[in-house]
Amino acid sequence: MKTLCTQQALRITSCIHEADTKHDKKKARNDERDAEVPGHQINHAGRLLLNHGYLSDAIKTQNSVYLNDEIVKNVINKMWYNSESISFRRGLLFLFLTLFHFVLLPVLMITMENRPLQWLYRQYKIPAMKVLLNAFGWLTVLTAFTYMLLFGFTDGITTCDWFLIGWMASFFLDESKQIAISLRRKRFKEYVNDWWNRLDWMSMGAYLGGMLLKLGEGEVFRTASKTFFVLTFILMCIRSLNMLMISEIIGAKLVMIKKMFMDTFAFLTIMTVVSGCYSVSYYAILFTDNSDLNFTEVERIIRNGFWILFGELSLEYDRSTHLRRFMKKASFIGRNCKQIFWKNTV
C-alpha cells in the first residue's frame, strides 16, 4: 500500500511539474508585454509539496523513495534557487549580491520597476538569497558581540552597544510579528513548541538582563552583566546552527545528532548513577573520619568519580589529603598526650 501511494504521489507531482515547465517555456517565448510582475507566478508543484503536505508527510513517514526522486528534487530546487540546478557561477552571484546588499538596498528602495533594478529585485526575492542575507546579518551581529565582549566592554554605552541594541530591538519586533501571525492563523501552539523560537526569546531575555545589570555601579554588577552577555553569545551561536540546516551535508548531521540526543541522555543518566556510586564509596573507604558538610567537601567527593571517567586517578591529591588528615590526627593525639603527661607530673 505504501509503495502504491508513493508511486501515485510521484505520478501526480511529475504531471504537475511537467505542466509548470511547459508554461514557463511558453511564457519565456512571449514578449515583455505578457510578462507578469516578479513573484506573481504560481508554482503549482511546489504548492502541492508544501501546502498540501506531500513533503511533510514524506518526512514524517521517512519515505526516502519519494524524497530522493529526481522530480521532487527539481521542484524543491526550483522553489529554493529559482532553477532546477545550482551552478558555481550562480553561487558566486548570490554571494556577490549578499556582500553588496547594503549598497544596492537604497537604490531598490527608490524604484524597482526599471529593467536592471527589476532583475535585482527578482534575485533578492529568491528564498536562498533571503537565507544568505539573514546569515550574513547574523554573522555581523556575532562579530560585533565578540568585539564587545573581548575589547569593548566598558561601563558606559558604546557605539557597538547601540548597534547591538538596535539589532535586538528589530529582532524583538520580528519575533512579535511572528507571534501575531501565528495567533491570527491559530498556530500559536506550533510557534511555542518550536525550540528555535524558545531559544530566540531566551537570547533576548539574557541580553536584556545583561543591559539592565550594566546600568548598575560596582564590580558585582559588571561581572553579572558580562556573564549574561556571554550567555547571550552562547545562545546566539547555538541559534546559528538552524541556518546550517539548509546544507545537504551539515543539515543531515544535525538531524542525526537530534535523533541521538535521547540515547545520549539515557547514557548520561546511567553514567551519573555509576559515577555517584563510585564517588561515595571511594571517599567513604579512603577517609574513615566524618567530614563537615559544606560545598568544598561535596565538590571533593564528586570530583573523584568524575575525573576517574577520563583516567585521572588523582593519586598525588589523595596521598596529600590523607597525609594532612594523618598529621592533623597525630597533632591532636600529641597535644592530648602532652596534657596528660603534664597533669600526671604535677
What confidence score (pLDDT) does residue 320 get?
55
- pTM for this predicted structure: 0.68
What pLDDT score does 296 carry?
Answer: 79
Residue 233: what pLDDT? Answer: 94
pLDDT for res 295: 80
Averaged in consecutive runs of 10 residues, what is the pLDDT profile of the chain (346 residues)? 83 81 66 45 72 78 81 81 77 81 75 71 81 86 91 86 92 92 88 89 93 87 91 91 80 82 83 86 75 78 77 59 57 58 54
Q: H/E/C letters for each residue in the chain?
A: CHHHHHHHHHHHHHHHHHHHHHHHHHHHHCCHHHCCCCCCCCCHHHHHHHCCCHHHHHHHCCCHHHHCCHHHHHHHHHHHHCCCCCCHHHHHHHHHHHHCHHHHHHHHHHCCCCHHHHHHHHHHCCHHHHHHHHHHHHHHHHHHHHHHHHCCCCCCCCHHHHHHHHHHHHHHHHHHHHHHHHHHCCCHHHHHHCHHHHHHHHHHHHHHHHHHHHCCCCHHHHHHHHHHHHHHHHHHHHHCHHHHCCCCCHHHHHHHHHHHHHHHHHHHHHHHHHHHHHHHHHHHHHCCCCCCCCHHHHHHHHHHHHHHHHCCCCHHHHHHHHHHHHHHHHHHHHHHHHHHHHHHHC
Q: Give the pLDDT score at 264.
A: 83
| pLDDT for 36 | 44
Q: What is the pLDDT of residue 32?
A: 47
